[in-house]
């Protein structure tokens, strides 16, 4: 690297952002500051593209404008930090660069200050092609300079800004809630923070501000929101980070419909103001049961059809034992029609079957519809009537490929949902520019956990059942039939928000605790303060919590949540830039009364 003294800012003042420069400024003297994005040194005349937070412009260093300046410009390399004073000039017609936003002008340098240099770069800033993700994360501050990521982080800012604006205009107060709070063993694993003053006791970081936002309703604030940081110590995914951000909001004196409306207007506003995209509202609604039946998932991607069909009743008496025995054991037979895929090769279909097996399926039965009839090695087991019904129900047409899964309902749903998404991509049925929103409603309040032989809440334990289902809380054989006033907002198969109308009546809340096996004593111990608050005039209330990271991911077209978070964790929940988590000074542990027993 070339060694030299840097220039200090001295009396230099930035007088323009690059975005503000235009042909109208021709001849005006400006000072711009930023990074050398690319350089083209012709020996005499030197060009650089200078980048600041707003954009990029070509700067011209001509020896005629100062030999010393020109000699200095010769030293410039990628990512050097400079201040350039010079004149805006319009480019002659034949020199306009159509690919550059500021390609019609250039900046004629008169004075150059090199404010800082850069070592050889571990990740290139000026190339679209990005480096391995671990390198990008290690040098995140360089990665973030790339125009692509700058754009995503700026979009994130704009989205959050518009959320604040919209909600503030709709009588919501932004109120912060504690980061250090009481641990609740339900749901996700807590991140714990030891207390120094009370050795052996711990705070937890919030999984969500759920209890606090309900307390704010009880406090009479009527409408609350918060850009809330949430923490869950669970394993990561492409769309899941251990710390993430939710737009947490809650409203008093509302029912589901009110939450839907404000949320729809909010999303409409955000999309219009940041992407200039018109979202039609209201969003369609689909029942949980219907979503599971037709799409196999509670977060269906409705940008394409390929609905799953149920054949359980049709084939209950079939001679094909693989199907009928599953049905006798309480399982289901469901199928999907891969339109026009009859020409798939053996290996292509085997690949689909392999994926199905990875999700727990025992196999993937298949039939082709060709020459107006079903063909496969298993068709001989079915009567003509059954074959006719299969073809009817699946709306089979010439050259279709029918794929069947016979299994427990849960597995059949999972496998076919995965298959459906795969086929949607493979068959090019997905319009990548579309934002297809849908409310998934009428979730069951409880789910049976077969492994632990107990009921669990499907969402969280503070959800109010549908009013007509409240009596069923006293009938143990009907727990599974209780529908909760809870709802998810799904877009393009991504769960963007989740919310519910909360239980504001202590007696009902206690019954819910009882169903999931939390007894009186435990209630008092863990939620005593919360249950007590219900006794002093709790308004009916409910809310929703849109996941901001996922929203930005969707709106920016990012493949990973990491691309819309400035400093994300890796899949192993570490930060490779700061190398955390890390060991700490033994003195600190001692002060906390913590002893590390063994490290595997």
Partner RNA sequence: GGGGGUGUAGUUCAGUUGGUUAGAACGUCUGCCUGUCACGCAGAAGGUCGCGAGUUCGAGUCCCGUCACUCCCGCCA
- Of 5, 11, 99, 384, the one binding RNA (CB under 7 A) is 99
- Of 12, 52, 66, 131, the one binding RNA (CB under 7 A) is 131
Report the alpha-carbon distance of residue 355 to residue 421 in Å, rounded. Answer: 12
Nearer to RNA, 274 or 484 (CB): 484
Task: Please tell me whether residue 442 binds RNA under the rule CB under 7 A.
Answer: no
Task: Please tell me whether residue 414 binds RNA under the rule CB under 7 A.
Answer: yes
Site size for RNA (CB under 7 A): 73
DSSP conformation letters of 53-69: TTEEEEEEE-GGG-HHH
- Residue 324 CB, nearest approach to RNA (Å): 26
Report the alpha-carbon distance of residue 219 to residue 236 in Å, rounded. Answer: 36
Other CB atoms within 10 Å distance of the CB of residue 511:
15
- Residue 193 CB, nearest approach to RNA (Å): 18
- Restricted to residues 160-179, the positions that interact with RNA (CB under 7 A) are none
- Of 66, 187, 194, 424, the one binding RNA (CB under 7 A) is 187
| Pair 248, 208: CB distance under 8 Å | yes
- Restricted to residues 232-261, the positions that interact with RNA (CB under 7 A) are 232, 234-240
Q: How far is CA 534 from CA 140, 527, 538, 542, in A?
A: 46, 11, 5, 14
- Restricted to residues 272-301, the positions that interact with RNA (CB under 7 A) are 298
The tokens for 291 are: 């979503």
- Residue 383 CB, nearest approach to RNA (Å): 36
Task: Please tell me whether residue 44 binds RNA under the rule CB under 7 A.
Answer: yes
Task: Please tell me whether residue 78 binds RNA under the rule CB under 7 A.
Answer: yes
> CB neighbours of 526 closer than 8 A, spacing ≥ 6?
182, 184, 518
- Residue 97 CB, nearest approach to RNA (Å): 4
| Pair 253, 539: CB distance under 8 Å | yes
Task: Please tell me whether residue 26 binds RNA under the rule CB under 7 A.
Answer: no
Burial letters 361-380, b for 16+ CB under 10 A, else e: beebbbbbbeeeebebeeee
- Restricted to residues 543-572, the positions that interact with RNA (CB under 7 A) are 547, 559-560, 562, 570-572
User: φ, ψ for residue 353 (rounded to 5)?
Assistant: -65, -40
| Pair 208, 237: CB distance under 8 Å | no
- Residue 51 CB, nearest approach to RNA (Å): 12
- Of 29, 45, 175, 282, the one binding RNA (CB under 7 A) is 45
- Residue 433 CB, nearest approach to RNA (Å): 22
- Restricted to residues 330-389, the positions that interact with RNA (CB under 7 A) are 358-360
Nearest CA to 29 out of 74, 93, 88 is that of: 88
Task: Please tell me whether residue 181 binds RNA under the rule CB under 7 A.
Answer: no
- Restricted to residues 508-547, the positions that interact with RNA (CB under 7 A) are 547
Task: Please tell me whether residue 129 binds RNA under the rule CB under 7 A.
Answer: yes
């Amino acid at each position: 690297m070339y060694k030299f003294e840097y220039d200090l800012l001295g009396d230099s003042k930035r007088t323009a952002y690059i975005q503000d420069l235009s042909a109208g400024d021709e001849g005006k003297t400006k000072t711009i500051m930023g990074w050398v994005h690319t350089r083209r040194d012709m020996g005499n005349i030197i060009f650089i593209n200078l980048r600041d937070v707003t954009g990029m412009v070509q700067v011209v260093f001509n020896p005629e404008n100062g030999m010393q300046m020109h000699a200095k410009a010769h030293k410039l390399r990628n990512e050097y930090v400079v201040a350039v004073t010079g004149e805006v000039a319009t480019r002659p017609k034949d020199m306009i660069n159509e690919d550059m936003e500021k390609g019609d002008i250039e900046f004629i340098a008169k004075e150059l200050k090199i404010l800082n240099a850069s070592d050889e770069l571990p990740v290139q800033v000026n190339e679209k092609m990005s480096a391995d993700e671990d390198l990008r994360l290690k040098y995140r501050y360089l990665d973030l300079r790339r125009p692509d990521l700058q754009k995503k982080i700026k979009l994130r800012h704009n989205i959050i800004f518009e959320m604040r604006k919209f909600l503030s205009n709709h009588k919501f107060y932004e109120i912060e809630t504690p980061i250090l709070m009481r641990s609740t063993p339900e749901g996700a694993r807590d991140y714990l923070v030891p207390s120094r003053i009370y050795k052996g006791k711990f705070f937890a970081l919030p999984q969500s501000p759920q209890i606090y936002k309900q307390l704010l309703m009880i406090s009479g604030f009527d409408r609350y929101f918060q850009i809330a940081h949430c923490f869950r110590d669970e394993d990561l995914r492409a769309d899941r980070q251990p710390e993430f951000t939710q737009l947490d909001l809650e409203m008093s004196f509302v029912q589901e419909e009110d939450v839907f409306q404000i949320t729809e207007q909010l999303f409409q506003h955000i999309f219009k103001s940041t992407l200039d995209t018109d979202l039609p509202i209201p969003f369609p609604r689909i029942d949980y049961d219907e979503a599971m039946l037709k799409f196999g998932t509670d977060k269906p991607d409705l940008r394409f059809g390929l609905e799953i069909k149920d054949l359980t009743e049709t084939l209950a008496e079939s001679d094909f034992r693989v199907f009928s025995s599953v049905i006798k054991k309480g399982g289901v037979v469901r199928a999907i029609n891969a339109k026009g895929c009859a020409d798939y090769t053996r290996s292509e279909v085997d690949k689909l079957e392999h994926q199905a097996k990875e999700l727990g399926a025992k196999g993937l039965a298949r039939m082709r519809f060709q020459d107006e009839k079903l063909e496969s090695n298993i068709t001989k087991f079915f009567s003509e009537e059954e074959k006719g019904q299969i073809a009817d129900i699946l709306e089979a047409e010439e050259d279709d490929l029918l794929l069947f899964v016979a299994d427990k309902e849960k597995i059949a749903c999972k496998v076919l949902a995965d298959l459906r998404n795969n086929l949607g991509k493979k068959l090019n049925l997905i319009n990548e520019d579309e934002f297809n929103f849908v409310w998934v409603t009428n979730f069951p309040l409880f789910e049976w956990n077969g492994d632990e032989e107990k009921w669990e809440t499907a969402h969280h334990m503070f959800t109010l059942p549908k009013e007509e289902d409240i009596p069923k809380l006293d009938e143990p054989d009907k727990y599974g039939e209780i529908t909760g006033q809870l709802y998810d907002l799904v877009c393009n198969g991504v769960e963007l928000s989740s919310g519910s109308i909360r239980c504001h009546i202590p007696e009902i809340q206690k019954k819910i605790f009882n169903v999931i096996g939390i007894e009186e004593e435990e209630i008092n111990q863990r939620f005593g303060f919360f249950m007590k608050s219900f006794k002093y005039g709790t308004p009916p209330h409910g809310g929703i919590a849109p996941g901001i990271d996922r929203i930005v991911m969707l709106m920016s077209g990012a493949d990973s949540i990491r691309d819309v978070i400035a400093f994300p964790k890796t899949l192993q929940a570490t930060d490779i830039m700061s190398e955390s988590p890390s060991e700490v000074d033994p003195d600190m542990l001692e002060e906390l009364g913590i002893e590390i027993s063994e490290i595997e």
